Amino acid sequence: MRRRLTDGGTFLLQLVDGFLVLALFSCSTWTVWSSSCCNQINSYEVRPHSVSITEFGAVGDGITLNTIAFQNAIFYLNSFADKGGAKLFVPAGRWLTGSFDLISHLTLWLDNDAVILGSMNSDDWPVVDPLPSYGHGRELPGGRHRSLIYGRNLTDVVITGNNGTIDGQGSIWWNNFWNKTLNYTRPHLVELMNSTGVLISNVTFMNSPFWTIHPVYCSHVTIQNVTIIAPLSSPNTDGINPDSSDNVCIEDCYISTGDDLISIKSGWDGYGISFGRPSTNINIR
């Protein structure tokens, strides 16, 4: 992880060099390359209720828009949240969709040849309010497009599978950025807010419109064995950005993007200072 780990990359690289030897023997905050000390969350835990996205009319041809199918499936599974939780299975296919919300006690499971494709129509990514620790959109004043996979105020959320793929098809967003034709700040690929007990593992993330994985105001987040890829020319396609979050473990990930690989944040300038929630106890290895 010697490419720009943060917006203040030089400082963090010095920090990494300084603590490398200690990291081999400890699991303290900010360690890298140490033996695993993260709390292990079992991504294969059996949820008592499971459905396939095809049961809600989804078509995996890469052309049919399946946003309503995802929304309806998750709405249905919400009735099992207090009964041990549920799993939404995404089989092999190319499943085009706009933004959809996750719920608590849910496992989103992608089969090996499953690809969730982000719609290339910006209308399928609703505009939401800016984060309070950012004050306004990161790129433009006003709101921002909601992430493809979104959730807030959740507990016990898992995104995993047999290394299926979530592809944001970000090229249209990158072109609008370079051409200065954006109306709002670009969306992330995955954003979870005010959530606890989050596991993201064994999934490939590609071509995010903006930052790829953004846990913000979250606690107890584990991100393991994920692959994150975007062209080196893609603007601001950060890999993993824990933001005003605590007890985060990031390990055994392969990341190659157009900007920061991992960037630890606590809001933006004066807005972040006023919000007053630092990122703490973050382990990267």
Predicted confidence at residue 31, as pLDDT, reads: 37
Give the separation between CA 82 and CA 86, rounded to whole angstroms: 10
Residue-wise pLDDT tens digits, 84-100 = 999 999 999 999 999 99
Helices (runs of H) and strands (runs of E) counted in the chain: 4, 21
275 neighbors 133 (Cβ within 8 angstroms): yes
Euclidean distance between CA atoms 53 and 284, whole angstroms: 34
For the chain, the domains span: 49-166+184-284
Q: Extract the tokens encoding 130.
A: 């800016």
User: Does the domain formed by 49-166+184-284 have CATH 3.40.1160.10?
Assistant: no
Q: Is 160 helix (H, G, I), strand (E, B) or coil?
A: strand
From the candidates 156, 167, 238, 259, which is the catalytic residue? 259
pLDDT (tens place) for every residue of the chain, 285 residues total: 434 444 444 334 333 333 333 333 345 443 333 345 566 555 556 799 999 999 999 999 999 999 999 999 999 999 999 999 999 999 999 999 999 999 999 999 999 999 999 999 999 999 999 999 999 899 999 999 999 999 999 999 999 999 999 999 999 999 999 999 999 999 999 999 999 999 999 999 999 999 999 999 999 999 999 999 999 999 999 999 999 999 999 999 999 999 999 999 999 999 999 999 999 999 999
Enter the pTM of the model: 0.87
Are the C-beta atoms of 148 and 186 separated by less than 8 Å?
Answer: no
In the annotation, is 238 catalytic? no
Instruction: Please provide residue 229's backbone torsions phi and psi, each rounded to the nearest 5 degrees.
Output: -135, 135
